[in-house]
């Protein structure tokens, strides 16, 4: 497939246009519920895009519109140019074969083997047994389960069950793969293996992947683009790296603060003051990325300005494959020193946020 950065933004795989979804009241006297409220968003072809938000933000409702499991109250949903909202019967079944789906709880049939679970969509479509075998065995090998063809779901781990679900979703040669909280029931190590598999599928098959999740760690690890949902709306979106680097909306900031290494450690929080007393230090969070990621800039800060700099906490990581780091430092809060430090940060390209003062 083409390198994602070379893919034009005007080549959409999935488009939401003014999408609203209202559910009627279930009991007399109650008001209905608006799950989605004017969603406009485009998923470019060939990307792994994340939709993230808290429970109740509207993520799962949004994804159910893509394969026609729900119809929007207003607006359109386009999959590769086809308006899903206008489809029914055979045309809708054809569309669903082009949209693979993997689920949080696997949805495997306990009475069928790994092979038979993966083969089920093709059996339903009436494909001959010999053609099914030729199609399914390479898929099972791709997800690393070629030695489990004849095993039943009860004999598999959670990660292996999810791999079966992924192979089944690929059986109909979809152009779009939907993942609805597919890693939420898995431990961190298994989650990483599943995300690595999805990245391999995206790279080798050129498959567009839409990840629905409430976990920022999943977004950080697997996606190149992200949209943040809150209250049935998309409140922020962009390249994953840009959103992580400079989150604009309060919901995004809160979600990011829950990730290890992004917020202040508790022992520092207890000491932070809003205004300095004589002799206090300024507490500053530095963000390293791009050309600044591997430069000894704190050492330069200490040397050029003659500062005594205390390192309070820090992490080094990557986002969507790009290096990224956070470092919290403390130095004299004297106004002259603060101005010199700000000039240094501006000159070197460091993102610096003054977060308070400490003794």
| Cβ proximity of 110 and 152 under 8 Å | yes
pLDDT the model gives residue 10: 61
Nearest to 44 by CA among 80, 75, 85, 19: 80
| Cβ proximity of 178 and 101 under 8 Å | yes
- Encoding tokens for residue 331? 């130095």
State the pTM of this model: 0.82
pLDDT the model gives residue 298: 82
What angle (nearest 5°) sits at the alpha carbon of residue 227, between those of residues 248 and 323?
A: 70
Q: Where are the beta strands (DSSP E) in the chain?
A: 12-23, 33-44, 48-52, 74-79, 82-83, 99-103, 176-180, 208-213, 225-230, 233-239, 281-289, 310-319, 322-332, 351-358
pLDDT the model gives residue 151: 96
pLDDT the model gives residue 6: 40
Q: How far apart are CA 181 and CA 215, in angstroms?
A: 9
pLDDT the model gives residue 8: 44
- Classify 76 as helix, strand or coil: strand
Q: List, run by run, the mean pLDDT of 10-residue segments along the chain (359 residues).
A: 42 95 80 90 96 92 93 96 92 92 90 96 92 94 94 95 94 94 89 93 93 91 95 95 88 82 75 90 84 75 85 81 82 91 87 88
pLDDT the model gives residue 289: 75
| Cβ proximity of 213 and 52 under 8 Å | yes
Q: How far apart are CA 103 and CA 35, in angstroms?
A: 20
3-state helix, strand, coil in the chain (%, to 5): 40, 30, 35
pLDDT the model gives residue 312: 86
Q: How far apart are CA 170 and CA 162, in angstroms?
A: 12
Q: How far apart are CA 22 and CA 72, in angstroms?
A: 8
| Secondary element (H or E) of residue 105 | none
| Secondary element (H or E) of residue 241 | helix 240-245
Domains, in order of start, for the chain: 4-257 (3.40.50.300), 266-358 (3.30.70.260)
pLDDT the model gives residue 261: 62
Q: How far apart are CA 9 and CA 237, in angstroms?
A: 14
pLDDT the model gives residue 3: 36
């Amino acid at each position: 497939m083409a390198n994602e950065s070379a893919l034009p933004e005007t080549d959409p795989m999935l488009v939401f246009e003014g999408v609203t979804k209202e559910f009627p009241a279930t009991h007399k006297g109650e008001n209905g519920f608006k799950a989605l409220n004017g969603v406009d968003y485009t998923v470019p072809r060939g990307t792994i895009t994340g939709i993230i938000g808290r429970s109740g933000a509207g993520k799962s409702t949004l994804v159910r519109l893509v394969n026609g499991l729900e119809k929007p109250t207003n607006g359109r949903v386009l999959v590769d140019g086809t308006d899903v909202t206008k489809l029914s019967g055979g045309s809708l079944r054809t569309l669903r074969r082009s949209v693979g789906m993997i689920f949080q709880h696997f949805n495997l049939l306990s009475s069928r083997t790994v092979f038979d679970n993966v083969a089920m969509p093709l059996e339903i479509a009436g494909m001959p047994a010999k053609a099914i075998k030729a199609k399914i065995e390479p898929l099972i090998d791709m997800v690393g389960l070629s030695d489990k063809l004849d095993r039943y779901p009860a004999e598999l781990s959670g990660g292996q069950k999810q791999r079966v679900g992924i192979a089944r979703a690929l059986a109909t040669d979809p152009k779009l793969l939907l993942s609805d909280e597919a890693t939420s029931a898995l431990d961190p190590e298994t989650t990483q293996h599943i995300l690595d598999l999805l990245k391999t599928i995206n790279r080798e098959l050129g498959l567009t992947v839409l990840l629905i999740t409430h976990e920022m760690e999943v977004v950080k690890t697997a996606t190149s683009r992200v949209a943040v949902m809150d209250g049935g709306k998309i409140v922020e979106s962009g390249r994953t790296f840009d959103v992580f680097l400079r989150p604009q909306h309060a919901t995004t900031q809160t979600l990011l603060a829950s990730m290890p290494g992004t917020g202040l450690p508790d022992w520092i929080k207890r000491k932070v003051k809003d205004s300095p007393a004589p002799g206090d230090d300024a507490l500053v969070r530095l963000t390293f990325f791009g050309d600044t990621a591997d430069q000894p800039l704190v050492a330069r800060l200490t040397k050029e300005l003659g500062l005594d700099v205390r390192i309070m906490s820090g992490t080094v990581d990557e986002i969507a494959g790009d290096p990224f780091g956070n470092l919290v430092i403390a130095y004299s809060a004297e106004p002259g020193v603060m101005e010199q430090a700000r000039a240094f940060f501006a000159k070197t390209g460091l993102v610096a946020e003054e977060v308070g003062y400490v003794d």
